[in-house]
A and B are shown apart, each in its own frame.
Chain A
């Protein structure tokens, strides 16, 4: 492929003003126009089209074309322009002339559109990756991500998603993936929130992604000591994929170590291909906890030997194991009980009234926060059809009609409210 490019490059100067170069550049300019309209109209769909068109063009990209486009799209001497040009391989003199000529011919419009700037990053990045210049690609992608962090525009998001993809890819190709991937830090609560958000926001078509999200979310919730609802496993289209996780959840819910072991073994290959195997090993501890909690609720007094038997602890000294496990569970607040060492039994305390504590308030607070957050996210994701306000102006009559209807409805609701009080 490189050979191919070189050949074209050699050929380019002779007929630089004719066919190949201008047509690609022309395409790129059209794309730029599309970005502008998309950005002004807040039309995410147009930006999606931009990405598609660019991918179609990527085989035709050449250093001269890319740098000509940069000259067209970005103000010369701007920070982004000088930085992006520095990533491109040096041109021979003739190409440079073409370059300047084109930018003189079309004096750069003062584009300060962030969408266009980000698009330039994307274009250069794709070009660098196709040229297998991975270390430059790495530098370019890092710079683009740094720039992205300062932006918050929905129309940039589409481009950003591609940038993140290539960012990860270029680091992977240079073997530095670990640098940019965060590490697992036992932050289960954060993990759960992010996973649920991701699963909810993912488009319906991305079923594989949603299934994966759900699998992780289930494990994380189990690790947090929650039991996911049955509906999670019954979601359309992922019932089959979630079966191993359903059985796993069941084992944790019952608190049966033996069942847990059987399930973990039965689906061992699924779990290790899902990358959840290590997390499931961590779950063992939760299974014991649940089992213990069930025991402590059911019995007011039970011998440690029976506890060991019920938990199916198989070791040399199950009673001593059970004793220290129970002691730790008490210390961690998982169960409310005391141990009588001399008699070798565990005495559960009366369960207190949970409504006399602050627990319910905490629970309500976290639920309210969740709902408010969901509302805010929904508002942010709203998309308004362009020019809808104009239409409204035209049909003033209709509007009056609608307002009247609304007033009636409001009155109706107010009356209903009155009734309630």
Chain B
């Protein structure tokens, strides 16, 4: 093992230790040092140059980035998560023939899916999904995220919430909590359209608040247009757009002109 690799390995051990005892400041520090050191290995992506230590270098780099992703979850930093994940991804997609698969691969891919779901980036979610093999889709970590997305799209929100109890990996809890917030906003949005009014009790349960006070705070902050009276929450219905009173003249003129132009060309 050459000197650089030993240095990285030692630093990595210190980083893991710091990360384990939740000393985030020193862990983040060590991580940036590690990333700088990794740039000196030419065997890593994007160069993928052949070197005698290539396999060891690739393995340790993959390990480092996997830990970096987990650390970003612990520090609840979504931007860092995205960065680290994209640095990690080439190791999963492009080194398949050289490295044995990492046991962390599916949990981390699942985490990323969950992150996209939390950030409501559904298109990217499906893009990632298309890249996975059918055997990967069977993995509990991936399946968890896929089922969540389905329940989320259907509107079966309590299924989303109960999924928190069945997380396949402890790192998932952070994103599940974030998801709960997203779900609450969704429920609020659906409720105001679907109900004329709800009793305070029902509204509190539905929006998952433990006290009435929390509910009132939420209403005054996020939905000031809701009205609380006689022990119920009344939703102001947004006027429906059904019958059109006005003729959309400009649009009509534009369309008719374009028909005329096309017909002119035909005749």
Contacts and interface: CB of A to CB of B under 8 A. Distances in A.
Interface of A: 175, 183-186, 272, 277-278, 281-282, 284-285, 288, 313, 315-317, 320-321, 324-331, 337-342, 352-353, 356-358, 361, 365, 368, 372, 375-376
Interface of B: 94, 122-123, 126-127, 129-130, 134, 137, 146, 150, 153-159, 162, 186-187, 189-191, 193-196, 198-199, 202, 241-244, 248, 252, 255, 259, 262, 265-266
Contacts of B126: 184, 186, 278, 282
Contacts of B241: 357
A46 to B, nearest CB: 29
A184 B157 CA distance: 26
Given A184-B130, A277-B134, A281-B146, A324 B196 contact: no
A20 B26 CA distance: 72
A325 B134 contact: no
B243 A352 contact: yes
A275 to B, nearest CB: 9
Contacts of A316: 162
A317 B241 CA distance: 34
Contacts, number: 101
Contact of B130 (A175, A278, A325, A338): A278
B127 A324 contact: no
A356 B202 contact: no
B199 A272 contact: no
Contact of A358 (B153, B156, B194, B244): B244
B154 A327 contact: no
Interface of A is mostly: helix
Contact of A338 (B187, B194, B199): B194
Contact of A329 (B155, B242, B244): B155
B193 A327 contact: yes
Given A321-B159, A324-B158, A357-B244, A331 B259 contact: no
A375 B202 CA distance: 58
A272 B138 CA distance: 13
Nearest to B199: A342
Nearest to A272: B134
A357 B198 contact: no
A321 B158 contact: yes
B150 A284 contact: yes
Given A186-B123, A278-B130, A327 B194 contact: yes
Contacts of B190: 324, 327-328, 330-331
A345 to B, nearest CB: 12
Given A331-B193, A340-B195, A357-B241, 18 more contacts: A175-B94, A183-B130, A281-B146, A284-B154, A321-B158, A321-B159, A324-B157, A324-B187, A325-B155, A327-B191, A328-B154, A328-B186, A330-B190, A339-B195, A342-B202, A353-B243, A356-B244, A358-B244
B88 to A, nearest CB: 17
A363 to B, nearest CB: 13
B193 A330 contact: yes
Nearest 10 Cβ contacts at the A-B interface? A328-B155, A327-B194, A327-B190, A356-B243, A331-B193, A330-B194, A325-B155, A331-B190, A186-B123, A321-B156
